[in-house]
Structure 1
Amino acid sequence: MAGIDVSLKDMMAIDGAVGAVVVDYTSGMALGALGGSKDLDLQVAAAGNTEVIKAKLRTMEALQLKDGIEDILITLGTQYHIIRPLTGRGGKGLFLYLALDRGRANLALARHGLRGIEERLDV
């Protein structure tokens, strides 16, 4: 099992990673963050992506979908943003957020890597 700091380092080791955050989506607060830049404020990203998760959960409830979110992908011109809610024990209400440089990242490998990090994360 890995803690938040190790998981953030593992997320940043994914090819093309520019920022990684573990977020509590009940509050929008980042529990830990690594990377980012002047153009990618990870605290703002954590709060904003909390609203994305909450909106999707409300929509799923309104549609009466009895399913869970595996991940949410946001594709920008130069970046991929992956939001992955945690499903393991102790991870309820948390999500992983990974920003990738689109020119350097392999999206399939990044999603696979996040799945493994989620499985190892112990909060």
Structure 2
Amino acid sequence: MANIDTSLKEAMGIEGAIGVALVDYTSGLTLGVLGGGPNLDMNVAAAGNTDVVRAKVRTLEMLGLADSIEDILITLDTQYHLIRLLQARGNDSLFLYLALSKSRANLGLARHQLRRIEADLEV
């Protein structure tokens, strides 16, 4: 099992990673952040994406779907923003938010690595 800091460092090791955050979408609080930069404030981006997650969760509830969200992908001109909801061990209000450089990242591999990081994360 890995703690938050270790998991965030592993996520930053994913090819093309720009920044990563662990976020509680019920409160909007960020539990940990690494990376980012002058053009990407990870705290602002993580807080803003809580609205994306809340809207999708609410939509699934309104539709009466029993499915859970595995991940949400937002594709920008130069970046991928990957939101991975934590399903393991009852962490159903947390998500990992990973920003990737589109030119350097392998999206399939990044999704696989984020799934593995999620499985090892102990909050």
TM-score (norm 1): 0.98
The 5 A counterparts of 1:71-82 are 71-82=71-82
Runs of 4+ in structure 1 over 3 Å off:
none
The 5 A counterparts of 1:2-13 are 2-13=2-13
Aligned-partner SS, 1:15: coil
Percent of aligned pairs with the same amino acid: 64
Give the corresponding residue for 1:21: 21
Is the 8 Å Cα contact of residues 90 and 122 (structure 1) preserved in structure 2?
A: no
Give the corresponding residue for 2:118: 118
Q: Distance in 2 between matches of 1:97 and 1:41?
A: 12
Q: State the Cα distance separating 1:77 from its structure 2 match.
A: 0.4
* Unmatched tracts of structure 2, length 5 or more: none
Query: Aligned pairs, how many?
Result: 123
Aligned-partner SS, 2:89: coil
The 5 A counterparts of 1:78-97 are 78-97=78-97
Q: State the Cα distance separating 1:92 from its structure 2 match.
A: 2.2
Q: State the Cα distance separating 1:91 from its structure 2 match.
A: 1.7
Aligned-partner SS, 2:61: helix
Give the corresponding residue for 1:60: 60
Q: Distance in 2 between matches of 1:90 and 1:38?
A: 34
Q: State the Cα distance separating 1:90 from its structure 2 match.
A: 4.4
Give the corresponding residue for 2:32: 32
TM-score (norm 2): 0.98
Q: Deviations over 1:56-114 (max 9, x none)?
A: 01111111111000000000000000001101114221000000000000000000000
Q: Distance in 2 between matches of 1:26 and 1:40?
A: 23
Counterpart AA for 2:111: R
